[in-house]
Amino acid sequence: MVPRRVTKVLLDLARYYPIVSVTGPRQSGKSTACSQSFPSKPRISLEPIDAREYATADPRGFLAEYPDGAILDEVQRVPSLLSYLQEIVDADPTPGRWILTGSQNFALSAGIAQSLAGRTGVAQLLPLSLDEVRLFPKPPTTLWETIWTGGYPRIHDRGIPADRWLADYVTTYVQRDVRSAANIQDLVAFTTFLRLLAARTSQELNLSDLGADAGVSHTTARGWLSVLEASYLVHRLPPWIRNTRKQLVKAPKVHLVDSGLACWLLDIRTPEQLRHHPLRGPIFETWVVSEVLKSRLNAGLDGRLYHFRQTRGAEVDLLVERGIDDIIAVECKSGTTITGDQLKSLLAFEATPLGPSPVRLERRLIYGGEPSQVRSNAHNVSWADVASLPWSN
């Protein structure tokens, strides 16, 4: 397995906190990243029933077996352990003793808030970023192959066809994680909901319409979306509303975190199908947003990503707030040719009231061709260079 960019963040957190918690979707490489970062620590998975029963029945005895700490995988399986860990680290707050991983953020966060507040540093690990994918011996070489394959590590590490692995992943996820997390009885309806959500990637969220199309209530749709967000399969991109004006459309956009998963849910079975698919533009935008989000999380930063749209006026696919007066405005175009019209939204955004503070604005047009070019009105960025750009200060 290739080294992960988040390693530096994990090591930094371990210098200050007795516990480091790593959350992210299943199969994003959390266990491997932690083992790479802390090779001397034993790693114990709480997935096996016997390990879970031991940790549940005798938590003090279980933790006492690791006096110097350990990596505990899928700790949300035994949430009661967190209270006992609090007792241990309060008695001995040596930094970096315990490393926790969890793939259900809603469970782990609740436990952290109740038991480990102030005692743990938290990092998030999403699937592989473009620069990490390129570390493998045979990475995808074209834009559409890259987007269609997605970033789940096992696809690249073991050479498994993306559509085969993702089919198994969705089946396992729906049958186990979601069912246990949200007590969902109608798995057919939920799978339909998930596919409809993929068809709306990069669009503004309308839960009433989404729920109606899936045949469920608005309340059910909201609950299911929350589970998908907490499982790191979906990212909700809020509107940027520093200057709250009536013209602003305040609905968030919804993006699937992994473009390969979005393609599989949309029955796109080859990169060539994606190249000609009517949703290739929204899927490209979703991929760009995911790459920027990974870049910031891998650097230990929060997202601070937004979109912007007025009812009659500017519309920008992605705003990256590097600071209160430092913004990157991003437009995403899947075509290989740049035209003057593609910059209109970025230029129109600059003419909107940006708030009371002076704003440093950088314009970037991410497109599906090559090469990257720095021009007077925008930085035209090839898709191949997205991962190499600075997305933070």
Flag the least confident range among 15-24, 207-216, 340-349: 340-349
Q: What is the phi/psi pair of residue 13, to 5°?
A: -65, -35
Q: What is the pLDDT of residues 264-297, one digit of tens each?
A: 999 999 999 999 999 999 999 999 999 999 999 9
Flag the least confident range among 15-29, 195-209, 326-340: 326-340
Contacts of 162 (CB under 8 A, 6+ apart): 148, 149, 150, 155, 260, 264
Flag the least confident range among 54-63, 109-118, 241-250: 241-250
Distance CA 238, CA 254 (A): 9
User: For 339, which DSSP code?
Assistant: -
Task: Say whether pLDDT at 237 is over 90.
Answer: yes
Give residue 113's pLDDT band: very low, low, confident or very high (50, 70, 90).
Answer: low
Give residue 377's pLDDT band: very low, low, confident or very high (50, 70, 90).
Answer: confident
String of DSSP letters for 195-242: HHHHHTTTEE--HHHHHHHHTS-HHHHHHHHHHHHHTTSEEEE-B--S
pLDDT at 157: 95
Domains and CATH numbers, the chain: 7-124 (3.40.50.300), 130-234+261-277 (no CATH)
Distance CA 107, CA 223 (A): 15
Which residue, 64, 109, 112, 105, is CA-closest to 88? 64
User: For 123, which DSSP code?
Assistant: E
Mean per-residue pLDDT for 296-307? 91
Contacts of 375 (CB under 8 A, 6+ apart): none
Distance CA 327, CA 136 (A): 33
> Could you identify the residue written with the tokens 């913004």?
327
pLDDT at 290: 97
Pair 112, 18: CB distance under 8 Å:
no
Tokens of 176: 């186990």
In the chain, what percentage of residues exceed pLDDT 90? 65
pTM here is: 0.93
Half-sphere exposure of 17 (CA within 13 A, CB side): 23
Mean per-residue pLDDT for 69-79? 91
Tokens of 170: 């969705």
Task: Say whether pLDDT at 104 is over 80.
Answer: no
pLDDT at 80: 87
Q: What is the pLDDT of residues 156-193, one digit of tens each?
A: 999 999 999 999 999 888 767 776 666 777 888 888 99
Cα 341 from chain centroid (whole Å): 31
Pair 331, 317: CB distance under 8 Å:
yes
Task: Say whether pLDDT at 95 is over 70.
Answer: yes
